[in-house]
Amino acid sequence: MARMRAIDAAVRVLEKEGVDTAFGVPGAAINPLYSAMKDRGSIRHILARHVEGASHMAEGYTRAKAGNIGICLGTSGPAGTDMITGLYSASADSIPILCITGQAPRAKLDKEDFQAVDIEAIAGPVTKWSVTVKEPALVPMALQKAFHIMRSGRPGPVLIDLPIDVQLGEIEFDEDTYEPLVPYKPAATRAQAEKAMAMLNEAERPLIVAGGGIINADACAELVELAEITGVPVIPTLMGWGAIPDDHPLMAGMVGLQTSHRYGNATFQRADFVLGIGNRWANRHTGSVDVYTEGRKFVHVDIEPTQIGRVFAPDFGIVSDAKAALSQFIEVAREWKAAGTLRDRGTWADQCRYRKSVMLRKSHYDTVPLKPQRVYQEMNEALDRDTCYVTTIGLSQIAGAQFLRVFEPRNWINCGQAGPLGWTLPAALGVRAALPDKKIVALSGDYDFQFLIEELAVGAQHKLPFLHIVVNNSYLGLIRQAQRGFDMDFEVSLAFENINAEDDGDAEPGYGVDHVAVAEGLGCKAIRVKSPNEFGEAFARAHELMEEHQVPVVLEFILERVTNIAMGTEINAVNEFEDVLCLDPELSLDQPVELDPVLQSATQKREAELSTA
């Protein structure tokens, strides 16, 4: 037991809970915490340029690695309100981050003091717990409770607000006996597993929908094992992408209105049973509930009881951690397979694989300005299998999900439900801080990139290298495409004649912001690509620059102004807009087929024929 400032005890608690990195911006009301961190020297601090950016860095840090919890620090008033978007984003995607704010002295809280805002109330709707700690002795226990809440049940963020006099108050604290609390995680029972597996076994054409909860639970190996034992194809959600490798024979594609595959939607429409694990039936995945559920039975497994039945009532619901449920399912499936009572799914799985082989979208375009599809094709060819992609929202993200390939858990780090512009760049910095040896590629449209572009300086200052691909059409592309329904193209163009463009022959006239100049002004490196014959050299040079300078490298691709990316209002009514590939448009995709090695390369040959036609 030792006597110390409450804030010194707070830093010791953070250490005991496994914290070694924090993102933030110091200020008068949070300076005591910074003084405690300086004295201990145990927590690395990364100085952001904007507190919202720091909150997204904390998100990226958490999402990058199982067990991580990102920490965001800021002073009183606007620092806390700047964190709200990060808290909302984390809450929506079940991501635990801890935001700590300084606050005016307790005696000033109701007197409209400078930068004194009721951040506890403001943050309440977008956190699992939000609290202003008003007694110094409560500080260590409030932090202990925060970590317990973040890790228990459905993960999520917490905000702790610390008045400056609370931080400075002296307390007794015994750091030697402090231990983190064991998180609460519900688990499926044997009876529940048997019922769910019986329903799956009765179905003719079952699917497993794998949500982000599987990745949060670090249960991807169990997912793949269940799929392989049962032979049931897997449909990952956008947040679950990577839970099963894209090239696994039982990975059947993604489903949805936007971030989906043609073959995924086609397969889902033929399914008669769906086992959803760790997913929330998001509207961009389902479209209207009537179309999505018609003719199908559903089992829904989720760690949060109120998620089951929130969007639609499943035929059977199980409240369970994904890993615990999958372990039970595997045990039952193994026993039934050994007893010979597990049905053979070979024909159904072959049909799903055939659709995956032939129902493709064209990507090989040689036009100038570039089509985005070609950029993603080149990314697939130039980037390693272990590449980690980071992205948020827009046509860049939607096309990326349609064309890129993901092979490992946490190699697709995406802001799913909230989708705030500007998220990508700071989140990528957080991922880099968590994974110093990982190959990280951020993917942004020009508007997402501009939102928090100043955070490039953080990467330069702290030597956090990653490749940031910017697909630039000088448009709010997704909003422009949505405005088609109103027969307008209004206030969504970012293009203007940059008066400095003529000073740099490499700048693109009429495209507005010179991202290369801005990136280099912020201490990073940048390359602009305008034609297909520049792809190979550009990717190679970008990697050389990262290795040499250890800073973010921006690789900007100048796109045609307007490209409509496949999407629709229902999963059975996706408008493709651009060319698609199918070996035989008249093929009955339900027929049993014999797959052979020739089929795997046939679509590539067909694509080459179309590209030269």
Task: Supply the residues annotated as catalytic.
Answer: 25, 51, 421, 476, 479
Residue 80 near residue 29, CB atoms below 8 Å: no
Q: How far is CA 325 from the centre of its chain?
A: 23
Residue 123 near residue 129, CB atoms below 8 Å: no
The H or E element spanning position 210 is strand 206-210
- Tally Cβ neighbours within 10 Å of residue 337: 14
Alpha carbons 72 and 98: distance in angstroms, whole number: 6
CB-hemisphere CA count at 13 Å for 13? 24
Alpha carbons 474 and 562: distance in angstroms, whole number: 9
DSSP state of 510: T
Integer CA distances (angstroms), 582 to 148, 247, 266, 599, 610, in order: 51, 19, 13, 12, 11
Q: Which amino acid is at 418?
A: A
Alpha carbons 476 and 478: distance in angstroms, whole number: 6
Integer CA distances (angstroms), 31 to 34, 166, 214, 311, 586, in order: 5, 13, 39, 45, 69
Alpha carbons 416 and 421: distance in angstroms, whole number: 12
The H or E element spanning position 145 is helix 139-151
Alpha carbons 287 and 258: distance in angstroms, whole number: 10
Cα Rg of the chain, angstroms? 25
Paired sense of beta strands 273-277 and 580-581, if any: unpaired
Token pair belonging to 436? 């110093």
Q: Evaluate the CA torsion angle 491, 492, 493, 499 in order and state its sign.
A: positive
Residues 6 or more apart in contact with residue 586 via CB below 8 angstroms: none
Token pair belonging to 437? 């040896």
Alpha carbons 524 and 458: distance in angstroms, whole number: 10
